[in-house]
Amino acid sequence: GYYADRWKELLIQNSLPTKAYFDTSDHDPFCTYSYLLDIITWNKSIRRGFIRVKITDYAGRTVESEMDSEAATFQQYRRVKILTGFYQDFDKISRISLTFSTKTVIGPKYKLRILQMRLKSLNNPER
């Protein structure tokens, strides 16, 4: 890793290709892998809440998103893009699961019906 006040000088001096992660975690290897979640919902009524993403690779390892996003508003047939991040990165994802929450204790439980979903790695856009 590099100290925050000297990262640019050290990367310029380094002749080898280097990746820099500006969103970091407090766990080794200290990088956060960013993904863009792009979903279109099917609910007739407007839903407002939070999405947590869980990804699983073909070996059965699972990691849950760590970034806390703002509450999003979901309308029928409207696209919503959410930035999310993970402490681990999987080359091949076998399963993606979402959890929708309004974070209210009192009141009805709502479901969010997904018409279309894409999860794109921002660190590896070719995936």
The pTM score is 0.71
Q: Is residue 75 part of a domain?
A: yes
Domain that holds residue 102: 32-119
Task: Tell me the C-alpha distance between 44 and 66, whole Å.
Answer: 29
Half-sphere exposure of 124 (CA within 13 A, CB side): 9
Q: Is residue 2 part of a domain?
A: no
Q: What is the CATH number of the domain that holds 64?
A: 2.60.60.20
Phi and psi based region of residue 44 (left: phi greater than 0; alpha: psi -120 to 50; beta: remaining): alpha
In the chain, the number of structural domains is 1
Q: Is residue 5 part of a domain?
A: no
Q: What is the mean pLDDT of residues 9-26?
A: 63
Q: Is residue 63 part of a domain?
A: yes
Is 2's pLDDT higher than 60? Answer: no
Confidence of residue 17 (pLDDT cuts 50, 70, 90): low
Q: Is residue 100 part of a domain?
A: yes
Q: What is the mean pLDDT of residues 50-60?
A: 92
